[in-house]
Amino acid sequence: MKLTRRNLLKKSGQLAGALALSLKGFNFFDWSAEAQEAEIEKAPTLCNTCGTQCGAWAYVKNGRVWKVEGHEEDGRSQGKLCARSHGGLRWVYDSDRIKEPLKRVGEEEFEPISWDQALDEIAEKLQDILHEYGPRTVGFGHYPRSTGTFYGERFMHALGVSTVCTHNTSCNAARNAGFINSMGGVPDADLANSKYVLMIGRNHGGGIRTDQMKKVSKALAGDTKIVCVDPRQNDIAKLADEWLPIVPGTDLALVLAISNYIIEEGLYDEEFVEEHAIGFEDYADNISRISPDWAEQITDIPADKIKEIAEELGGNRPQAIVHPSWGGAFGAVYANSDETARAVSCLNALLGNINQEGGLIFHPTPELGELDSDKHPAPEVPDTRRADGVGVMGEFPLAGDHGLPHYLMEKAKEGTFKSMFIRHHNPVRNFPDYDHMAEGFKSLELSVVFEINMTETAILADYILPECSFMEREEMISAVGGPKASIGMRTEVIPKVYEETKSFDEIIVELAERLDIGEYFNFTLDDLNEALLEPYDISLEEFKEKGSMLVDLEPPIGETDLNTRSGDFEFYSEVYEHAGRSAVVGWQPPAVGMNIEEDEFRFITGKEGFHSHTATANIPSLAQITKDYDTNRLWINSSVAEEMGIEDGDKVKVESSLAAREVRVKVTERIHPGTVFMPSGYGNRTPYYEKSQEIDTLNPNDLVPYRTSNISGHAMRQEALVTLEKV
Ligand SMILES: Nc1nc2c(c(=O)[nH]1)N[C@H]1C(S)=C(S)[C@@H](COP(=O)(O)OP(=O)(O)OC[C@H]3O[C@@H](n4cnc5c(=O)[nH]c(N)nc54)[C@H](O)[C@@H]3O)O[C@H]1N2
Ligand SMILES: Nc1nc2c(c(=O)[nH]1)N[C@H]1C(S)=C(S)[C@@H](COP(=O)(O)OP(=O)(O)OC[C@H]3O[C@@H](n4cnc5c(=O)[nH]c(N)nc54)[C@H](O)[C@@H]3O)O[C@H]1N2
Ligand code: SF4
Ligand SMILES: [Mo]
């Protein structure tokens, strides 16, 4: 079956027309036979049901997307997709999708308006705000991926706006800060070639990324010893060699105790430390009093076990890894997450595993070309002080340029921040403290949301602009680094299902014209993609047929130059010192939970393999998985349940300092007794999601108060204690 994409698009249109015309003399059996025998055609795309953006093939039958499969030449999917990708197809045809521009006319009430009216009004209001209050009162927030980042940033920069944010401070901002400021970046873990992996709060089976899932499967099937540290026996811990239930928020004590023991026992890589690192003495000195016995009191992990881990890590180095993790234990969860991340990075340095096979590897990312800046000048990056305090002394000097959407909502409530544009992101639901986020968002003078679904953020916006779904639009080529590097793009698989939807780049270009910054968008998406593809010996037309392409890049095995200020590993950080933070890592407790009352529990959360955040809750096939397996329940330990007279399936009231909610429980041995766990994807607060209401329970963010780390600016989304009461 060979078909060019242009033919495919033409044929899809023709087929839809032919079916409509033949209704008069309609014969069901002929129609059915014809429909069943219809050719199945395929076109390349990138899955969009989560941020991984796996390379995929879309199969089209009778003009409709029929199924998706992994693209074998893509570094992420490597030929296999996860369950969510199939569920995500529902978005394409969802009758509840946003189909035309909407203007808010009342509380969560909207009226459809034309594109001209929407864009004229938005441009005028934005112009007024910029004129009256200046560009520091405006911001853009998004889930950062190719087209969104390029067009969104360029648009904002052209207006003089510097406050561009992503979801990072709710995700992995602390992890990134810790690794970037010591190792110069976040490396890839070479799990399959490793002999020993300490996995701290990383659950590949719940927080899925297809390529990482492949690697961990290989490691689990091979000779790698995997030890999982997680207050809950997660999907990987079930299959791993050992599960160590730790007290939430205390991983820093564990990591520092292991590190100090490794130093004291001389188990570390002295050559690496002497030749390729700075500040070791200060670091070693700062943690010298942290013993396994002390850590046992804090973590609930026996001192002998801590020593054993240290010996096994040291004994297997450099084929030993403390996993850089992602979000769970030190991404954006506790007051000490920034320090935990830095401590994990330092421990890996002690193991001398950087750029070693079976260690942590900084794989390069394929190069992409650029637009000719003479023909298509880019706007200057504005030097306006950011509204969210990033880089500002006295505010958040070290927070990365991913920004602080939660802090902006505080500024909005104060009245000093006026307008926010949001794309492909649901900050009101996904950051802690719903009321804080919602009140802030409602206080804005102009809020615009680019969406496909009526999310919690969208229903509070002044204008909602409907993007066409990922199957209906072309996007910018993007590059993926890793052991299998590739470049890939989303192509237009089918014509628009709803006429009045547009792609983000189209909308931005139209808005830019109305704001007199059209000169920065004097190119087509094809021009841009041609420029990006320039380093490769393939035409854009050919690439659109191919979609994804592996790029052969040498892994930097043995490379010791790191992307830090000194070029070496930095146990001692001058950057931290200049910003008034501790130059070397040390113990810091979480914000709450070090002294808990008898009836209190630490409250944690995490992903399930069949939902993406709260975005997929309304997809019927995925909601059905929740129902069939009855997963939207609060995990509590069986001994605690017995003591409290609570049985599996009972309803409890769960209450934090912020709010109380009711939820059914799952009674299990698979959780530390002082902890309760709630899967993260539920508790949608939008009346427009029918399916999610059927599985509605609580969202952890309802119970966690608003806080901000003074290092990376992350939102500490697990700093809450709760009490339970049987209902
Ligand atoms: N199916 C699915 N896959 C996804 C996503 C999704 O929404 N759904 N999202 C993607 C994104 S954006 C991300 S960031 C990744 C996240 O990937 P992960 O970070 O692996 O996912 P989480 O489930 O958030 O957290 C992992 C584990 O941390 C544990 N944990 C919680 N608190 C602590 C603690 O104090 N200490 C320790 N040691 N462990 C703790 C939880 O019990 C959980 O099992 O997943 C990505 N993949
Ligand atoms: N309680 C709790 N909170 C969490 C987490 C947790 O585990 N527990 N995880 C945290 C993590 S790791 C992260 S990364 C953040 C994620 O937080 P967000 O970045 O807000 O992630 P999503 O909920 O996936 O939001 C993606 C949005 O994009 C929309 N969308 C989908 N396709 C398209 C499209 O084609 N165009 C447009 N314009 N929009 C589209 C979806 O409807 C959805 O609203 O949440 C964080 N918050
Ligand atoms: S990990 Fe799953 S949902 Fe995410 S892009 Fe890949 S296939 Fe799609
Ligand atoms: Mo994330």
**Ligand 3 atom closest to Cα of 612?**
3
* Per-residue pLDDT at 4 exceeds 50: no
Measured in Å, residue 585 CA sits from the centre of ligand 1 at 24
Contact 197, 225 (CB under 8 A): yes
The alpha carbon of residue 333 and the mean position of all alpha carbons in its chain are separated, in whole angstroms, by 14
Measured in Å, residue 207 CA sits from the centre of ligand 4 at 9
* Per-residue pLDDT at 6 exceeds 50: no
User: Which residue, among 257, 231, 355, has the nearest Cα to 313 in the 3D structure?
Assistant: 257
Q: Which residues contact 537 (CB under 8 A, 6 or more apart)?
A: none
pLDDT in tens, 493-519: 999 999 999 999 999 999 999 999 999
- Ligand closest in space to the Cα of 207: 1
Contact 434, 404 (CB under 8 A): no
Contact 277, 562 (CB under 8 A): no
* Helix (H) or strand (E) segment spanning residue 7: helix 5-21
- How far apart CA 245 and CA 675 sit, in angstroms, is 10
At 23, the pLDDT band (50, 70, 90 cuts) reads: low
Q: pTM here?
A: 0.96
Rounded average pLDDT over 450-461: 98
Nearest CA to ligand 3 atom 4: 50
Instruction: List the single range of 1-5, 92-96, 437-441 with lowest mean pLDDT.
Output: 1-5
Strand blocks (E) in 489-623: 548-551, 569-570, 600-606
Indicate the fold that domain 600-726 takes in CATH: Barwin-like endoglucanases (2.40.40)
Rounded average pLDDT over 655-659: 97
Measured in Å, residue 223 CA sits from the centre of ligand 2 at 36
Q: What percent of the chain has pLDDT over 90?
A: 92
- How far apart CA 200 and CA 306 sit, in angstroms, is 13
Report the residue among 77, 186, 607 best suited for mutation to probe ligand 1: largest number of ligand atoms under 8 A from its CB.
607
Supply φ then ψ for residue 590, to 5 degrees: -70, 170
CA 87 → CA 94, 424, 430, 493, 621, distances in Å? 11, 18, 21, 17, 6
The alpha carbon of residue 326 and the mean position of all alpha carbons in its chain are separated, in whole angstroms, by 9
Report the residue among 167, 230, 616, 635 best suited for mutation to probe ligand 1: largest number of ligand atoms under 8 A from its CB.
230
- How far apart CA 462 and CA 450 sit, in angstroms, is 11
User: Which residue, among 371, 388, 370, has the nearest Cα to 162 in the 3D structure?
Assistant: 388
Measured in Å, residue 84 CA sits from the centre of ligand 3 at 6
Nearest CA to ligand 2 atom 28: 424
Report the residue among 210, 480, 607 best suited for mutation to probe ligand 3: largest number of ligand atoms under 8 A from its CB.
210
User: Which residue, among 290, 380, 364, has the nearest Cα to 584 in the 3D structure?
Assistant: 290
Buried b (16+ CB within 10 A) or exposed e, 520-536: bbeeebeebbbbbbeeb
pLDDT in tens, 395-435: 999 998 899 999 999 999 999 999 999 999 999 999 999 99
Instruction: List the single range of 27-31, 335-339, 373-377, 577-581 with lowest mean pLDDT.
Output: 27-31
Buried b (16+ CB within 10 A) or exposed e, 190-213: bbbbbbbbbbbbbbbbbbbbbbbb
DSSP string, 297-344: HHH---HHHHHHHHHHHHHHTTSEEE----STTTTS-STTHHHHHHHH
Report the residue among 52, 142, 167, 698 best suited for mutation to probe ligand 2: largest number of ligand atoms under 8 A from its CB.
167
356, two tokens: 């070693």
Ligand 2 pocket list (CB less than 6 A): 48, 143, 167, 170-171, 327, 423-427, 430, 450-453, 455, 467, 469-470, 605-607, 612-615, 680, 699-701, 717
For the domain 190-202+213-363+558-578, what is the CATH code? Answer: 3.40.228.10
Question: Cβ of 95: how many Cβ atoms within 10 Å?
Answer: 7
Supply φ then ψ for residue 7, to 5 degrees: -60, -40
Predicted confidence at residue 697, as pLDDT, reads 83
- How far apart CA 353 and CA 277 sit, in angstroms, is 13
Measured in Å, residue 491 CA sits from the centre of ligand 1 at 30
- Coil, strand or helix: which one is 164? strand
- Ligand closest in space to the Cα of 49: 3
Contact 113, 103 (CB under 8 A): yes
Ligand 1 pocket list (CB less than 6 A): 50-51, 84, 171-172, 200-203, 206-209, 229-232, 234, 246, 248-249, 251, 326-329, 331, 604, 606-607, 609, 611-613, 677, 718
Decide: 52 in ligand 3 pocket, CB within 6 A.
yes
CA 488 → CA 51, 460, 543, 545, 551, distances in Å? 14, 35, 9, 11, 10
Buried b (16+ CB within 10 A) or exposed e, 467-488: bbbbbbbbbbbbbbbbbbbbbb
132, two tokens: 């009256």
- How far apart CA 670 and CA 638 sit, in angstroms, is 9
User: Which residue(s) pair with 600 in the sheet?
Assistant: 723
Longest pairwise C-alpha distance within the chain: 87
Measured in Å, residue 327 CA sits from the centre of ligand 1 at 5
Measured in Å, residue 368 CA sits from the centre of ligand 3 at 23
Predicted confidence at residue 2, as pLDDT, reads 38
* Upper half-sphere CA count for residue 679 (Cβ side, 13 Å): 28
Give 591's DSSP letter. Answer: S
Buried b (16+ CB within 10 A) or exposed e, 577-611: eebebebbbebbbbbbbeeeeeebbbbbbbbbbbb
* Per-residue pLDDT at 356 exceeds 70: yes
Contact 665, 633 (CB under 8 A): yes
8, two tokens: 């495919």
Decide: 46 in ligand 3 pocket, CB within 6 A.
no
Decide: 691 in ligand 3 pocket, CB within 6 A.
no
pLDDT in tens, 291-345: 999 999 999 999 999 999 999 999 999 999 999 999 999 999 999 999 999 999 9
**Ligand 1 atom closest to Cα of 615?**
7
Report the residue among 430, 496, 704 best suited for mutation to probe ligand 2: largest number of ligand atoms under 8 A from its CB.
430
Supply φ then ψ for residue 67, to 5 degrees: -165, 170
Decide: 54 in ligand 3 pocket, CB within 6 A.
yes
**Ligand 3 atom closest to Cα of 84?**
3
Decide: 210 in ligand 3 pocket, CB within 6 A.
yes
Indicate the fold that domain 102-171+367-469+496-528 takes in CATH: Rossmann fold (3.40.50)
Measured in Å, residue 175 CA sits from the centre of ligand 1 at 12
- Ligand closest in space to the Cα of 243: 1
**Ligand 2 atom closest to Cα of 457?**
44
Predicted confidence at residue 694, as pLDDT, reads 85
394, two tokens: 């006295």
User: Which residue(s) pair with 725 in the sheet?
Assistant: 653
Nearest CA to ligand 3 atom 2: 82
9, two tokens: 């698009």
Decide: 490 in ligand 3 pocket, CB within 6 A.
no
Measured in Å, residue 81 CA sits from the centre of ligand 3 at 6
- Ligand closest in space to the Cα of 87: 3
Supply φ then ψ for residue 391, to 5 degrees: 80, 0
Give me the amino acid identity at 689.
Y
- How far apart CA 183 and CA 174 sit, in angstroms, is 14
* Helix (H) or strand (E) segment spanning residue 154: helix 146-158
Contact 276, 560 (CB under 8 A): yes
Q: CA torsion sign, 42 to 45 to 49 to 54?
A: positive
Predicted confidence at residue 691, as pLDDT, reads 86
At 5, the pLDDT band (50, 70, 90 cuts) reads: very low
138, two tokens: 């405006």
* Per-residue pLDDT at 11 exceeds 90: no
H helix and E strand count, the chain: 24, 27
- Ligand closest in space to the Cα of 46: 3
Tell me which of 178 and 691 has the higher pLDDT: 178
Predicted confidence at residue 695, as pLDDT, reads 86
* Helix (H) or strand (E) segment spanning residue 45: strand 40-46
Nearest CA to ligand 3 atom 6: 54
User: Which residue, among 188, 194, 313, has the nearest Cα to 255 in the 3D structure?
Assistant: 313
State the Rg of the chain over Cα. 26
* Per-residue pLDDT at 635 exceeds 80: yes
Supply φ then ψ for residue 691, to 5 degrees: -60, -40
Measured in Å, residue 28 CA sits from the centre of ligand 4 at 48
Measured in Å, residue 632 CA sits from the centre of ligand 1 at 16
Burial of 114 (0-12, 13-18, 19+ CB in 10 A): exposed
Contact 626, 683 (CB under 8 A): no
Measured in Å, residue 616 CA sits from the centre of ligand 2 at 9
- How far apart CA 121 and CA 208 sit, in angstroms, is 41
At 690, the pLDDT band (50, 70, 90 cuts) reads: confident
497, two tokens: 């299902």
**Ligand 2 atom closest to Cα of 451?**
38
Measured in Å, residue 479 CA sits from the centre of ligand 2 at 21
725, two tokens: 């009461």
Contact 149, 173 (CB under 8 A): no
Instruction: List the single range of 36-40, 231-235, 534-538 with lowest mean pLDDT.
Output: 36-40
Rounded average pLDDT over 251-277: 98
